[in-house]
Structure 1
């Protein structure tokens, strides 16, 4: 068992919290524990592929797609201002367009490039959406109730988690320059994932909301 294998227990713990607090949510947010089941299944399958010395790039492309679509649709439904709804819909459209470029095998988009760009666009767009939501909440005259607003916690978790994207995009550089690149990789991965699922747990433990 490697240090990163503890992430599976973190994900499973969040999954349990999600189903225990299942009735606290409604609408698209109620699908969150089922989304976590899907993500955990993907991660376990990726572990199997890794042990079998098979490539996991295609699988993680699928993970990136589902991850982006779930959270972006959640923001589109939750946002109150027309600007945030429009921004989210535009970014969803751009992301789907980038996916279609690969599906139809556009000659100037290589497979490896697609994998990097897909992850980059997903991370960038979700960070923009999360930041836009937080700015909307801060500018609102409504009193922010952290105990009843799960999307604020979700936004914080996503921003902490996705901020690691810049590291993974230059991972090869770290491997060349730094002797203990693996330690850096494990540390950043574990901290970012732990931050996300901690915030997701807090979000799911929020009081009942409609």
Structure 2
């Protein structure tokens, strides 16, 4: 499958536009979660994503490698999200699991640096490990919600909507990421790009719904 560079550039710009829109909604509805520990920093992550994508797009336009900024973003993103769920867990075993995931991910990130040059190569194994850890963490969070009174107010909980978006994105992206990294001949880069674009739009749509529907009283 082959798409023109012009069409791919249009999709990239649309993707950045969607991410920017999400950050704007996060700003408008910041009052709903500004007093929630760690979750209040989600707005900074969203604006960081916008900045990172714009910078990456500009670097690509100069025909330069932009792997380093994406590798740094992944480290910040996964660490923050795992810490976020660790804080919101009520179960001590789940809290401990989140901490173990963070430590293992950071160690994997550091060790993998001896095998891949993060300045010019996109991290592969650390990303896959972190994504799997995050999916497990989100599922543990859902199980906690289902077994608590919070389930009665789930649709008003911003973190629930964020979790839905993240889960859809990483569950959909992981198989393609694994195939793309280790079975290159079996995958099509264009299809992978379209999958990521679609999943990104869905994920951010979930975020936006969360900002609109959530209730500040339900931000546990």
TM range (shorter): 0.7 to 0.9
Partner SS for 1:55: coil
Deviation of 1:183 (Å): 4.3
1:7 aligns with 2:15: yes
1:125-155: CA deviations, max 9, x gaps? Answer: 1101001111111123554313322222111
1:200 aligns with 2:210: no
Cα distance change, pair 174–75 in 1 and its aligned pair in 2 (3 A): same
Residue 42 of structure 1 corresponds to 52
Partner SS for 1:144: helix
Q: 4+ residue stretches of structure 1 with deviation over 6 A?
A: 172-175
Deviation of 1:40 (Å): 0.9
CA distance in 1, matches of 2:180, 2:125: 15
Partner SS for 2:52: helix
TM-score, with structure 2 as normaliser: 0.83
Residue 154 of structure 2 corresponds to 146
CA distance in 1, matches of 2:162, 2:106: 22
Residue 166 of structure 1 corresponds to 175
CA distance in 2, matches of 1:143, 1:91: 25
The correspondence of residues 71-150 of structure 1 with structure 2, limited to 5 A, is 71-102=81-112, 105=114, 109-111=115-117, 115-150=123-158
Residue 29 of structure 2 corresponds to 21
* Matched-pair contact (CA < 8 Å) for 2:86–2:99: yes
Unaligned runs of 5+ in 1: none
Residue 3 of structure 2 corresponds to none
**Correspondence for 2:75 among 24, 44, 65:** 65
Say what the alpha-carbon RMSD is for the aligned residues: 2.2
Partner SS for 1:50: helix
CA distance in 1, matches of 2:67, 2:136: 25
* Matched-pair contact (CA < 8 Å) for 2:25–2:211: yes
TM-score, with structure 1 as normaliser: 0.87
CA distance in 1, matches of 2:180, 2:195: 11
* Matched-pair contact (CA < 8 Å) for 1:68–1:122: yes
